[in-house]
Structure 1
Amino acid sequence: MIDQFREISDYCRLEIPEAQRRPIAIVGAGGIVDGAHLPAYALAGLSVVGITDVDLDRARAVAERHGIPRVYGSLEELLADADVEVVDIAVPASEQPAIFRAAIAAGKHILAQKPFAVSPEIAKELADLAEEAGLVAGVNQQLRFDEGIAAAHRMVQLGWIGEVTSFSLTVNIATQWELWEWARQLERLEIMVHSIHYHDIVRWFLGEPTSVYAMAGRTPGQFPIGETRTVSSYRFADATAVVHVNHVNRGGDNSAEFRIDGVAGAIRGTLGLLYDYPDGRTDTLEVFSSSLPTDGWVPYPVTQRWFPHAFIGTMGSVLDAIATGSTPRSSARDNVKTVELVEALYRSMDTNQVVRLE
């Protein structure tokens, strides 16, 4: 399997050529920037020239920890900096559209945190703006660059398990929502903020579903008002998928498992980050294939982590698109479909009905 795995590892490699590196400025100095964006960019040798936040003291603290030379006093000051070529927007979805529009007007390329819009209509407007301006806009759906998931995707692309017939992902964890005060009043929480990653990769593996059905639950006395447990099912022309997520695991046995079945085999694995968030561990990944063939279940040696390594991938994809004219793996245009899917899942929750997608 060494030769076969080499093609997988080449696909998963997270390196940004020096010629593609461009000056980056960040809007937002929250925990995800401090703990994932900036460590990833340091690993990749990227230059972060400045940062801003509505809480300037927090921005100064993050800048000092990571050696960022400039703290901008406002978004306007950041966008006026001619040295900045890429703006990394890392703020809640409700605040993103105004920043996105201003960055496009200033001629900056964008990597936007997910979700980059709260509705499909706004998402489409933003994607249109970037394309009309000839600027690259990617969305930080970094699970597409997590090594376990990316390796599985490449195995599927290469036909190792044949046509995919089902996809399942089950997450059972204890999430400390109190870490994010801004999440307290979100009526749309679990899918919009967390499981959007999983729903995005279902699309990445299987394309657009013909219909979806979703259920949600809450726990009495919980910190946020939004849903903290969800079950989402999908129907495709020749496949099905299910995503089941529980953030109120009181048993202490966190787990995060996925499985992809095809007509010629299967892939199974774990999302290591979620076993001890935010430290986590590497993913696990195994493949069983009658087309290669494998001798039973064969492990693929995952060496990188979702946090922080996958964040190299999302920014690297934007930088590659700027340099080569390629399309980012998670472009704003593609992510409009993810926002549409999220909207359909919430509509199903609200109506207790199957929602068909055109």
Structure 2
Amino acid sequence: MNVTYKPLLPETQQPIIIIGASGIVKDAHLPAYNMAGFQVYGITNRTISKAQEMAQKFDILYVFDTVADAVKHAPKNAVYDITVLPDQYIEILEQLPDGSAVLIQKPMGNDYKQAKAIVEVCERKNLVAGINFQLRFASFVSAARNMIDQGLIGDLYDLEFKVTVKTPWELFPVIKQHPRLEILFHSVHYIDCIRSFLGNPKRVMARTWKHPEKDLSSCRSTIILDYGDTLSVKINTNHDHDFGTQNQESYIKWEGTKGAIKAKMGLLMNYPDGLPDAFEYVIIEEGKEPEWKMLNLEGSWFPEAFIGTMSNLMRFKEGSDEVLHASVQDVLDTMKVVEACYTSNNNGGVQLTELN
């Protein structure tokens, strides 16, 4: 069986300017770009010492004091990599040269209204703009997509994301107190990934919960995406499973009329150290008992999938790729689904007192 899952790299050198110097830049962006051989030309950050530290560790050529300074000294074919929080996106995008290529950290805004404003700026300035939804490019997702595109597991009728882990939110102090924590900053990955396979759902049903002893807006969610009467699509997350790793779960499962695929997302288990990924599949053969098999894949979600998002942006900019897969226009629908989740959480459900 031939399964293609590694991203194609750009054919031209496009130097990267990173705007922001957070932990995700150190742990994922820069290691991924080193692996791919991308040139990181410069970096800037509000706290300049963090940018200087990052530049020293990863041999980045230039540290710029401000975004305006970075733009002034950037090469003409530079790609901008925005890695700050959503409230700063528009201010930064307005400073970029018209027609620039830019990769923006997820989520695309704090809500759907802000997401639409971000798209407006990108379109007005003719920016080639994508959102960094790397899960679309994780090796296990790309392998599953290739198998499904080949028809190996038939017609999909069930797609499930299940996460039961202990997430140390204290590692993310900037977002920890956000009023829309779980769905906007975590399950948004799964919503976007589902959309990349199935397009937009007809409707959404969702509920997100707090923990009785934690000062968090939400840390567990159940989301049902309605794609009709035969295709079941659901997301179940529990970030409060603080009982050791024995019964932690973190997987995506695709079931079809001819077979199934189950991908373990090891990164989320025993975080931040993580556990190994695993990719299993079964294809029904007439007259034989179902037999699950393992497929060994190279790379994982962090940091390798970050190669995919940046490569796709660069290849689209140079004309090698026909589609910018996580364009701001496409991701606007991801944000619309997120907004629908919160609307359902606040207003959904039928109270028993309403029934006679």
**TM-score of the pair, normalised by structure 2:** 0.91
- Name the SS for the 1:80 alignment partner: helix
Q: Identify unmatched segments of 5+ residues in structure 2.
A: 351-356
Relative to structure 1, is the Cα distance of residues 120 and 101 closer, same or farther in structure 2, using a 3 angstrom cutoff?
farther
Determine whether 1:235 maps to 2:231: no
Contact 1:282/1:303 (8 A) holds in 2: no
Show the counterpart of 2:344.
Answer: 348
Higher share in helix: 1
Contact 1:161/1:261 (8 A) holds in 2: yes
Show the counterpart of 2:277.
Answer: 283
Tell me which of 262, 267, 277 is aligned to 2:261. 267
Runs of 4+ in structure 1 displaced over 4 angstroms?
A: 291-295
Alignment of 1:18-167 (within 5 A): 19-83=11-75, 85-103=78-96, 105-167=97-159
CA distance in 2, matches of 1:44, 1:291: 39
Shift of 1:221: 3.3
CA distance in 2, matches of 1:92, 1:82: 22
- Aligned alpha-carbon RMSD (Å): 2.1
Tell me which of 272, 281, 297 is aligned to 1:302. 297
Q: AA paired with 2:331?
A: N
CA distance in 2, matches of 1:353, 1:92: 32
Contact 2:93/2:121 (8 A) holds in 1: no
The percentage of aligned residue pairs carrying the same residue is 33
**TM-score of the pair, normalised by structure 1:** 0.90
Shift of 1:144: 0.6
- Name the SS for the 2:64 alignment partner: coil
Q: Identify unmatched segments of 5+ residues in structure 1.
A: none
Contact 1:285/1:302 (8 A) holds in 2: yes
CA distance in 2, matches of 1:36, 1:268: 24
CA distance in 1, matches of 2:285, 2:130: 35
Show the counterpart of 1:244.
Answer: 236
User: After superposition, what is the alpha-carbon deviation per residue over 1:334-356, rounded to whole angstroms, capped at 9, x for unaligned?
Assistant: 111111111100111111349xx
Contact 2:87/2:110 (8 A) holds in 1: yes
CA distance in 1, matches of 2:240, 2:196: 28
Contact 1:36/1:307 (8 A) holds in 2: yes
Relative to structure 1, is the Cα distance of residues 295 and 229 closer, same or farther in structure 2, using a 3 angstrom cutoff?
closer
Show the counterpart of 1:180.
Answer: 172
Shift of 1:281: 4.2
Contact 1:26/1:52 (8 A) holds in 2: yes
Show the counterpart of 2:198.
Answer: 206
User: After superposition, what is the alpha-carbon deviation per residue over 1:190-242, rounded to whole angstroms, capped at 9, x for unaligned?
Assistant: 1111111111111112221111111111113324x320111111111241211
Relative to structure 1, is the Cα distance of residues 291 and 51 closer, same or farther in structure 2, using a 3 angstrom cutoff?
farther
Determine whether 1:323 maps to 2:318: yes
- Equivalent residue pairs, number: 344
